[in-house]
Structure 1
Amino acid sequence: MELLDAARVRALLVPADLVEALRAAFAEQERVVVPHRAHHRVDEQRDATLLLMPAWQTDAWIGVKVVGHFPRNGEQGLPAIHGSYLLLDAATGRPAAVLDGTELTRWRTAAASALAAGYLAPQVVEEHLLVGAGNVAHAVPHCYAAVREVGLTRVWARDPSRAEGLVDRLRQEGVRAEAAPDLREAVRRADVVTAATSATEPLVLAEDVRPGTHVDLVGAFTPAMVEADEALVTSGSLFVDVPEALEEPGDLVQPLRRGALRRSDVRATLADLAAGRHPGRTDEEEVTVFKSVGTALEDLTAARIVWQAASGA
């Protein structure tokens, strides 16, 4: 069994290839079994959560990801998410590899957002705003490059030094980037807004979003977590990665409970977009909202292409 650490996973993952692999996986998602993931609260004081995410394709691979989400890790200079991924041969159950699940998660999350943006974002993206400066935010511009040419990437974070740090890192990697000191002003300027935070109060407000903007919400995954206000998710054209997005994140769970949002308000899932069952954006003035919570289908797809690259298969 091979151990693929974060550096190896990153070296083997080509963002554009991952976006295309996810497109194919979502278009044929019925070939993969994805049980409902398990959430366990393991530490109330630290708001810490354990997630177990299995998936398998009977003629190929079995995989399971174990993830710890510790939102207060930033106080210690650590990522909020740590994970490990076990990949097994579906024919024999033999373990093939253990991959760094944290690295795998951030790239598959960013790639899924980019895949959705290919259907939902405006064709011309002069400014892309990243709300949050963590590991997922860092991966987003590299994946978006597979679907859109972005003029400028701006970064806002509660801690301005973290925003500046991500800007420096992106510039070193060839991305034109700058820090955004004022969040609301930055939202008003953006053609695409990606929020990747652990916020529990709305950061992206409907009144600041211009017509034609695409809003990409990737951070919240519990009922207490919210990145956009109710007015935005109820007034925009709403898309989700998977149906579970209506059961887990506060962005959608809270307005559903209040009756402000109905399940039928969701225009399509990522599988619908990838399979051509929905065209995506239909109007230049349309505000599109994509809410993702992630799925084990993405993890299995990413782990498979990393393993194939590692093994030369």
Structure 2
Amino acid sequence: MATPSTTPIFISSTTLHSILSHKTLIAHFQSTLPNATLSLSTPPRHSHSTSPNSTLLLMPCFSTSSSFPFIGVKLVTSHPHNSSLNLPGIHACYTLFSSLTGQTLALFDATDLTLFRTSSISALASLYLSKNDAHVLVMVGSGNLSPHLITAHLSARPTINRVIIWNRTPEKAISLAERLRGDKRFEGVSFESNGCLEKVIGLGDIVSCATNSETELVGGMKLKEGAHVDLVGSFKPTMKECDDETIKKGRVFVDNEVALEEAGELVGAFERGVITKDDICGTLVELIKGDKVGRKNDKEITVFKSVGSGVVDLLTAQLVYETVMKAQIEQLQVV
């Protein structure tokens, strides 16, 4: 049987978008994450400050099972002030290797890979933590991750029919709302912007945050009964998107235990005695496996804090790579 070339392939953002959807990636994570955590090793990621405002992240992950023969490494740069240059704040590349031979299999433009996997993890958590009949999504931030988070949350909760976007620069929130209004995928959903975060926080059944803020944005006293808070932006102890009251009022879950050491919202709450690490209700994998109970009723506040991991990067890269290779094999068989 004909086989595809063993030369490493480059997977562009265009190819990634042609293969992935948030809905399929959410389902992929839901079915693969529990077993993946048993066979994948993720050394602590390296975080290096390359300037007072810039960060370099290195995220390795490798399989110890021959049934999942992959090694992956992601390199990420974070330059929050790129917005003034009209450039994304996050750039990334990903290299996929064979764990059996060490051969380089693929190189990815991983900026979009990161956006897809981050937003899909948030939406997967929402399946367990937000209300089944959630109607209003408040999006805090309007950077490159925000439209992905909106799309993913709409995929997980199709009952959402109103999205309110806030950004420190109101024009950016206005622009994103206008762009999403023209997207035919979101028929029946209203998109609007609002310049006063305090007024709109209390409207959200789901409040999703994707900012680089080092000062609290979401106030726990403003949250509506039964709200789910999705915190995505912070990845170091100096950053935070919500206040202590949010953490105190909410049942808090994390994507993985690294969040307990890196997320500013949690690290600060531990230091101030607001909660302890024992008060964290569980991880995403524990929710998927049913080891931990997610939302218990329609009145409680839930909080999900994610910082990302090499596991979800590798699972995303695996899905895309195997889809590309399957298509190559099918083409060769036709020829």
Shorter-chain TM-score: what band? over 0.9
> Where does residue 36 of structure 1 map in the other structure?
44
> Where does residue 333 of structure 2 map in the other structure?
none
How high is the TM-score relative to the length of structure 2?
A: 0.90
RMSD: 1.2
Counterparts of 1:227 and 1:307 in 2: how far apart (Å)?
A: 34
Q: How does 1:162-241 map to 2 (within 5 A)?
A: 162-173=172-183, 174-175=185-186, 176=189, 177-241=191-255
Amino acid at match of 1:166: L
Amino acid at match of 1:17: T
> Where does residue 3 of structure 1 map in the other structure?
10
> Where does residue 48 of structure 1 map in the other structure?
54
5+ unaligned residues in a row in structure 2: which ranges? 1-7, 328-335
Give secondary structure in 2 for the equivalent of 1:62.
Answer: strand
Q: Deviation of residue 141 (structure 1)?
A: 2.2
Counterparts of 1:22 and 1:71 in 2: how far apart (Å)?
A: 28
Give secondary structure in 1 for the equivalent of 2:258.
Answer: helix
Amino acid at match of 1:138: P
The answer on whether the counterparts of 1:157 and 1:163 sit within 8 Å (CA) in structure 2 is: yes
Determine if the alignment matches structure 1 residue 13 to structure 2 residue 20.
yes
Amino acid at match of 2:38: E
State percent identity of aligned pairs. Answer: 34
Counterparts of 2:178 and 2:9 in 1: how far apart (Å)?
A: 34
> Where does residue 164 of structure 2 map in the other structure?
154
Amino acid at match of 1:206: G
> Where does residue 277 of structure 2 map in the other structure?
263
5+ unaligned residues in a row in structure 1: which ranges? none
Counterparts of 2:60 and 2:304 in 1: how far apart (Å)?
A: 24
Q: Deviation of residue 26 (structure 1)?
A: 2.3
Give secondary structure in 2 for the equivalent of 1:107.
Answer: helix
Give secondary structure in 2 for the equivalent of 1:308.
Answer: helix
Counterparts of 2:202 and 2:157 in 1: how far apart (Å)?
A: 20
Give secondary structure in 2 for the equivalent of 1:243.
Answer: coil
> Where does residue 23 of structure 1 map in the other structure?
30
Counterparts of 1:151 and 1:97 in 2: how far apart (Å)?
A: 39
Task: List per-residue Cα deviations over 1:147-184 (Å, max 9, x = no partner).
Answer: 21111111111111111221122222233211122211
Give secondary structure in 2 for the equivalent of 1:143.
Answer: helix
Counterparts of 2:10 and 2:176 in 1: how far apart (Å)?
A: 28
Give secondary structure in 1 for the equivalent of 2:161.
Answer: strand
Counterparts of 2:294 and 2:301 in 1: how far apart (Å)?
A: 11
Give secondary structure in 1 for the equivalent of 2:88.
Answer: coil
Give secondary structure in 2 for the equivalent of 1:125.
Answer: coil
Q: How does 1:264-279 map to 2 (within 5 A)?
A: 264-279=278-293
The answer on whether the counterparts of 1:25 and 1:297 sit within 8 Å (CA) in structure 2 is: no
Counterparts of 1:229 and 1:25 in 2: how far apart (Å)?
A: 33
Q: Which has the larger radius of gyration?
A: 2
Task: List per-residue Cα deviations over 1:16-51 (Å, max 9, x = no partner).
Answer: 11011111232221121111111111112xx11111
Determine if the alignment matches structure 1 residue 106 to structure 2 residue 78.
no
Amino acid at match of 1:91: L
* Matching residue within 120, 145, 153 for 1:144: 153
Q: Deviation of residue 247 (structure 1)?
A: 0.4
Amino acid at match of 2:51: D
Task: List per-residue Cα deviations over 1:185-210 (Å, max 9, x = no partner).
Answer: 11111110000000010110001101
Q: Deviation of residue 81 (structure 1)?
A: 0.6
> Where does residue 102 of structure 2 map in the other structure?
93
Q: Deviation of residue 9 (structure 1)?
A: 1.4
Give secondary structure in 1 for the equivalent of 2:29.
Answer: helix
Counterparts of 1:247 and 1:133 in 2: how far apart (Å)?
A: 26
Q: Deviation of residue 256 (structure 1)?
A: 1.0
> Where does residue 57 of structure 1 map in the other structure?
63
> Where does residue 74 of structure 1 map in the other structure?
83
